[in-house]
A and B are shown apart, each in its own frame.
Chain A
Amino acid sequence: MVNLTVDGKNISVSEGTMLLEAIRGAGIAIPTLCAHEAVSRSGACRLCVVEIKKGNRTRIVTSCLYGAEEGLIVDTKSDRVLNVRRLVMELLLARCPESEVLQKLAKELCVESQARFAADTDKGKCILCRSCVRVCEEIVGVSAIGLFARGSQKTVGTPYNEKSDVCIGCGACVYVCPTGHIEMTSTGDKRKIWGRTFKMQTCTKCGKFFAPVDQLKFISKKTGVPLNELTVCTECR
C-alpha cells in the first residue's frame, strides 16, 4: 500500500494506482475528458491537473497519468490548479465551440469563452485525445483510423479520407469519444460511419437490425464461432 495526502485527507491505495483513481476514491471530483476505462491513457485533455508536493517542491501533473507515491501531498483545488484548468478549458472551448459536452463542462467549471482565443470553425468537436484511435487499435484490433498531419492541421480520420477497407463499422470509436465528434447514422438496414455504409444484420429471433454484417464476420474470423451462430442479438441470446 501507498500512503498519501489528498486535500488534507490521509488515504492509502494499492501500488500502481494513478492519482486520478486515488483522488476519486477519496470522494473528490476531478473533471476529465480523455481518461476512458476502455483505452490506455494519453494525457491529452489536461483537465485532470493537480498540484503535487514532494519535499519542498511543488508541481502540476496530470493525475490520470501520475502514479501514487508514498508521502505525496496532493492539492486538487489550489489556485495554481484552478488557473491551469481554467486556461485549458478556455482553449478547449475555443477549439470546439459547438461541443455541447465542452459547453456543459465549462459551465460547471465557471469558465467562459474568451475573446482573446479566436474560436476555430473547422475542428468540429474533436479535441485530438486519440481515444477513438486507441480503441480501434487496442480493443477492436483493426486500426482503421488515425490522427493525421500535425499542429493546427491535425485531424482524425481514415487514411486519405477514403473509405477504410479494414473498418468493421462497430462504432467503438463513437462510444469512447468524449465530445461526440464522430458521426454515425443508423437507418434501418444501413449504418454509415467514416464515409462508409455498412449493411446491418437482422436478429434471427426478434428480427431487429443489431450489428453490421462486417463486424459479425470479423468476430467469427477472430473467435472461430460460425457466422450463423452470431446472428442473434444480445437481448435474445
Chain B
Amino acid sequence: MTKAISVATKTRQIVKKHGGDKSAMIAVLQDIQEAFNYLPKEALKTASKAMKVPFSRVYEAATFYTAFSLKQRGKNIVKICVGTACHVRGAAALQDKFERTLGIKPGETTKDKNFTLETVNCVGACALGPVVVINTDYHGQVTMKKIDKIIDKINEGGA
C-alpha cells in the first residue's frame, strides 16, 4: 500500500462516512487528523473535492482551529499549558525544561519523530496547575523532576 493512494482513499472513506456533507467539514477534518496525526495537504485537497467545498474554505477551517495541525507531528504530543493559572505556577520554567530536554521549540517535532511540543492556553484544569498534557494523559502539579520521569517512561515504553 503506497502512502499516496492511502491518503486519498482514506480521506474519501472519511468523507463518505459523514455522508459527503459539507456541514460535517470539521468532523471530517478531525477524523483525518486522527487517521494521520496531522492534516496532509493531499487529504485536504481530496476532502475539498469530495465535499464540493472550495479548497480555500477547507484550508481556512484547517488553519483556524489550533487543534488542527498542518505539519507532521510526533508519536507523542506534549502540550504545556501556559494559561494564566499555569503561568503563575511556573509553566514558563517547565516549557524551558521541555525545550532543553527534547531539543525543540513549541510547534516543532524531534528528529526521531517521537515528540511534538505544543503550548495551549488553559486546558480547564487550573486547580492542578501547572498542567502538562501528554497525548490524552493529564499531568498535574508538574515539577522539573517529574518531567524527566515522564519522558523516560515514554521513551522506554513507546519507542
**Contact status A160-B59, CB under 8 Å:** yes
Question: Binary interface profile of B, 48-81, with partner A (CB < 8 Å = 1, else 0)?
Answer: 0000001111111001101000000000000000
Chain A stretch 115-168: residues in CB contact (< 8 A) with chain B: 133, 137, 142-150, 158-160, 164, 166
Number of interface residues of A (CB under 8 A): 16
**Contact status B56-A144, CB under 8 Å:** yes
B16 at the interface (CB under 8 A from A): no
**Contact status B55-A159, CB under 8 Å:** yes
* Chain B residues within an 8 Å CB radius of A142: 54
Chain A stretch 160-204: residues in CB contact (< 8 A) with chain B: 160, 164, 166
**Contact status A148-B60, CB under 8 Å:** yes
Chain B stretch 16-66: residues in CB contact (< 8 A) with chain A: 41, 44, 54-60, 63-64, 66
B interface list, Cβ under 8 A from A: 41, 44, 54-60, 63-64, 66
Nearest-neighbour CB distance to chain B for A164, whole angstroms, equals 8
Nearest-neighbour CB distance to chain A for B14, whole angstroms, equals 19
Once A137-B54, A160-B41 are accepted as A-B contacts, the answer to whether A146 and B59 lie under 8 Å apart by CB is yes
A160 vs B63: C-alpha distance when bound (angstroms)? 10
**Contact status B59-A143, CB under 8 Å:** no
Apart from A143-B54, A158-B56, A164-B56, 13 more pairs, CB < 8 Å: A133-B56, A143-B55, A143-B56, A144-B56, A145-B56, A146-B59, A146-B60, A148-B59, A148-B60, A150-B66, A159-B59, A160-B41, A166-B54
Count: A-B pairs, CB below 8 Å: 34
**Contact status A149-B64, CB under 8 Å:** yes
* Chain A residues within an 8 Å CB radius of B55: 143, 159, 166
Contact among B41, B57, B66 for A146, CB-based, below 8 A: B57
**Contact status B60-A147, CB under 8 Å:** yes
Q: Which residue among B54, B58, B59, B64 has the maximum number of chain A CB atoms within 10 Å of its CB?
A: B54
* Chain B residues within an 8 Å CB radius of A148: 59-60, 63-64
What are 23 A-B residue pairs whose CB atoms fall within 8 Å in the complex? A137-B54, A142-B54, A143-B55, A143-B56, A144-B56, A145-B56, A146-B57, A146-B59, A146-B60, A147-B60, A148-B60, A148-B64, A149-B64, A150-B63, A158-B56, A159-B44, A159-B56, A159-B58, A160-B41, A160-B59, A164-B56, A166-B54, A166-B55
CB-CB nearest in chain A for B56: A146
Q: Which residue among B44, B57, B59, B63 has the maximum number of chain A CB atoms within 10 Å of its CB?
A: B63
Nearest-neighbour CB distance to chain A for B40, whole angstroms, equals 12
A133 vs B63: C-alpha distance when bound (angstroms)? 16
Nearest-neighbour CB distance to chain B for A166, whole angstroms, equals 7
